[in-house]
Amino acid sequence: MNFRGFVAACLSGLLFVCASAGAQQQAPDALIEQVSKEVLETARNDPAIQAGDLQRITTLVDEKILPHVNFRRMTASAVGRYWRQATPEQRQRLEAEFKQLLMRTYAGALAQVRNQQVHMKPFRAAPEDKEVIVRTEVRGQGEPVQVDYRLEKTERGWKIYDVNVLGVWLVENYRSSFAQEIGQVGIDGLIQKLVERNKNAGSGQS
């Protein structure tokens, strides 16, 4: 996997978020800067992550990411208009399988981390803004890669709900493919396809 492939896969998994309890109160750009630098440092220094250990990555994700990422909003946006048609059980399964899909992609990407560094771009937002975009650039081998984040302000701090790598927003990208799948096989069909993809990934199949 080349460096651009690593960034697309790794950052679409939405990073390892810092463990500090005070991180939730940070400004959105400060949070992203801390998050981005920590994920690269963690990936470089953790032998299990370098080896692509999914259990290690999943444990860290559950402990560090979930409090800072709105996976429900991500999943609902990716499913699009069909989300309103889904039952509570279907929504729960979609969210679980979507998360698993991203985490498995993330696991394969983290082993590629070497000397990348994150550089923050100028951040512009008004104090009353409830949603913002934080822009960054990842530099390392080859051309710099632009990585942007959409965040929403909540009572529990800023939360990431979408990521843009090389001009492609994660949620929009999945929304197109999910809509096609649902149109062909329905919501349960999409869930089953996600289950199969995750199962095949876990067994090493493509």
Q: Report CA 97 to chain centroid distance, whole Å.
A: 13
Tokens of 3: 């460096």
Tens of pLDDT, residue by residue over 55-95, are: 777 766 666 666 678 989 999 999 999 999 999 999 999 99
- Confidence (pTM): 0.78
Residue 160 has pLDDT above 70, yes or no: yes
Which amino acid would we find at residue 154? T
Mean predicted confidence (pLDDT) in 147-171 = 90
Residue pair 198/206 in contact by the 8 Å Cβ criterion: no
In sequence order, what are the residues at sequence separation of 6 or more whose Cβ sits closer than 8 angstroms to the Cβ of residue 171?
74, 77, 78, 161, 162
At residue 18, the pLDDT reads 37
Q: What percent of the chain has pLDDT over 90?
A: 42
In sequence order, what are the residues at sequence separation of 6 or more whose Cβ sits closer than 8 angstroms to the Cβ of residue 150?
131, 132, 133, 160, 161, 162, 163, 164, 169
Bridging pattern class, strands 117-120 and 168-169: unpaired
Tens of pLDDT, residue by residue over 171-181, are: 988 999 999 99
Tens of pLDDT, residue by residue over 116-153, are: 788 999 999 998 999 999 999 988 777 888 889 999 99
Cα–Cα distance between 14 and 18 in angstroms, integer?
A: 12
Mean pLDDT value across the chain: 81
At residue 5, the pLDDT reads 52
Tens of pLDDT, residue by residue over 15-60, are: 433 333 344 468 999 988 987 888 778 778 888 877 778 777 776 6
At residue 25, the pLDDT reads 66
At residue 108, the pLDDT reads 61
At residue 110, the pLDDT reads 60
Token pair 């927003």 in the structure block, residue: 169
* Alpha helices, DSSP H, located in the chain: 3-12, 28-45, 47-50, 54-60, 71-79, 88-110, 170-202
